[in-house]
Structure 1
Amino acid sequence: MNRIEQAIAAQRSNDTEGKLLSIYFTAGYPNLEDTVEVIKILEKSGVGMIEIGLPFSDPLADGPTIQASSTQALDNGMTTEVLFEQLTGIREEVSIPLIIMGYFNPMLQYGIEAFCKKCAEIGVDGLIIPDLPVEVFHNEYATIFEKYGLINVFLITPQTSDQRITYIDDISKGFIYMVSSASTTGAKNTFDEEQLSYFERINNLELKTPRVIGFGISNKETFEQATAHADGAIIGSAFVKFLKGNSVDAIPEFVKRISPSLT
């Protein structure tokens, strides 16, 4: 069983069901050599899963905070090759699921099979590729991912039809990434009625695949709102913004503010 599936299954079997906290950060930000240290401290702080952003020059789905972090990381010298070098040996120190989130172009340039092979070698458990159409993945790349034991996580939004969500559910492994709104990434203080209605709508579909909610989660309130309707929640922009003004040693304080039971 993939580590992503193990983590969600373990979460569902204990007293904090639905409270999985996943943190996104941009590799090589705020400093090039921060990547591994951020991962290690996040795990020690009780985070259940980590999404490592592979910076890209044209991150269309990202809000200004993550776009700025990608620009900084690229300026710092982060590349696909550098990230793989940094993550070599990571499984000697870290056991929680690691997911690379990035755009398709850098992976295509590296070579899809070569990219997947390298991910498997260093212990990456899955990928999130926002600009890779589901059908293209399913028809052209699914067998490569299966060969290397990688999960490809699909995204749904409030605009995704029930029919398409059911199709995604049928072919998904690990979890479905529920985007909380149709806008780009960015922190919010609370969810509105339209978003909460969307969460309920997805619950009523009774999907077989666990769901994790992302976009707009920035504090204890939004984390609890999200995890009341899904198996977990993802915090990205708020954490990236935190890293800009704080040392990595302060990460446990950030995690504690989101979910005091984790630290």
Structure 2
Amino acid sequence: MSNISKAFSHGKAFIPFITCGDPSLEVTKLLVSAMEQAGADLIELGIPFSDPTAEGPVIQEANNRALAGGVTTEKIFTMVRELRETVTLPMVFMTYANVVFSYGAERFISTCKDIGIDGLILPDIPLEEKEEFDSICRQYGLDLVSMIAPTSYDRIQMIAKEASGFLYCVSSLGVTGTRSKITTDINGMIALAKEVTDIPCAVGFGISTPEQAAYMAQKADGVIVGSAIVKLCAKYGEDCVPYVKDYVSAMKRAVCEIT
């Protein structure tokens, strides 16, 4: 069983996302530990990029703040190495192909393995271009997490068949961000995927309230939340840790009530 699949082995998973270095890498370390204590099952760490095409304004601004603060891939690797001295839950990087390319794909992925990262999410890589990253990920024992979107119904099974770790189900069209209402047929997307794979399906994009999290947990194996947490980091800055911890705890409780 891969480390990522363990996140789904004891009921519905709650998966928070944060942008590394927003407001600082020291605070990011504190956030990861606090979210683990609050019951997070897996953590997505965003590596900032200057042109994050899948992100809405909240996460774009977090990327800009982190980059302006001098955050680099190398510094994030060092931070994760330090986190792994105490943090045991699975962690994945979410970033863009350009970040991996510019570092050198094999060097990037082998370093991920060395520092204890369990998988990668690259939202700008289509299925047709996945293999060049996936083959290196397999070589080093990392899961390259695939995404399915409401627009890709005819491609869902094709993508799901080759998925590893978990399948990231995008709940809304467009970029990341909180939504007041999510109308996508999540049941239909997941049913199609489950016909061809038994890996867990987690739903993200647009989820911000415990009610939305509970609703999505009825349909999926896990719930992913990013923008709502990044908003707390933006609002409270260096003092954000207790607010994020309370939020993650409330969201995890909502997801667990469905289990």
Which of 231, 236, 246 is the equivalent residue of 2:226? 236
Q: 2:107, 2:164 → 1: CA distance?
A: 22
Residue number in structure 1 paired with 2:7: 7
Which of 192, 200, 223 is the equivalent residue of 2:187? 200
Q: 2:59, 2:202 → 1: CA distance?
A: 19
Residue number in structure 2 paired with 1:159: 151
CA shift for structure 1 position 218? 0.2
Say which SS state the counterpart of residue 160 (structure 1) adopts: helix
Q: Which sections of structure 2, spanning at least 5 residues, go unmatched?
A: none
Residue 124 (structure 1) aligned with residue 121 (structure 2): no
Residue 46 (structure 1) aligned with residue 36 (structure 2): no
Residue 226 (structure 1) aligned with residue 213 (structure 2): no
Residue 259 (structure 1) aligned with residue 246 (structure 2): no
What per-residue deviation string (whole Å, max 9, x for no partner) do you get for residues 52-91 of structure 1?
Answer: 0000001111000000000000001111111011111322
Residue number in structure 2 paired with 1:102: 95
CA shift for structure 1 position 236? 0.3
Residue number in structure 1 paired with 2:139: 147
Contact kept, 8 Å, 2:232 with 2:243, in 1: the verdict is no
Q: TM-score, normalised by structure 2?
A: 0.92
CA shift for structure 1 position 135? 2.0
Contact kept, 8 Å, 2:43 with 2:90, in 1: the verdict is yes
Residue number in structure 2 paired with 1:78: 71
Q: 1:48, 1:189 → 2: CA distance?
A: 25
Residue 173 (structure 1) aligned with residue 164 (structure 2): yes
CA shift for structure 1 position 249? 2.6
Residue 190 (structure 1) aligned with residue 177 (structure 2): no
Q: 1:105, 1:131 → 2: CA distance?
A: 9
Contact kept, 8 Å, 1:90 with 1:122, in 2: the verdict is no
Residue number in structure 2 paired with 1:58: 51
Q: 2:224, 2:79 → 1: CA distance?
A: 23
Q: 1:254, 1:179 → 2: CA distance?
A: 22
- Tell me the number of residue pairs that the alignment of Structure 1 and Structure 2 aligns: 249
- Residue type matched to 2:4 in 1? I
What per-residue deviation string (whole Å, max 9, x for no partner) do you get for residues 2-44 of structure 1?
Answer: 2101222x22xxxxx3x21000010000123222111111101
What per-residue deviation string (whole Å, max 9, x for no partner) do you get for residues 175-194 of structure 1?
Answer: 110001111100123323xx
Q: TM-score, normalised by structure 1?
A: 0.90
- Residue type matched to 1:215 in 2? F
Residue 28 (structure 1) aligned with residue 21 (structure 2): yes
CA shift for structure 1 position 167? 1.2
Contact kept, 8 Å, 1:20 with 1:233, in 2: the verdict is yes
Change beyond 3 A, Cα 1:260–1:200: closer
Task: Report sequence identity in percent.
Answer: 37
Greater alpha carbon shift after TM alignment, 246-255 vs 218-227? 246-255
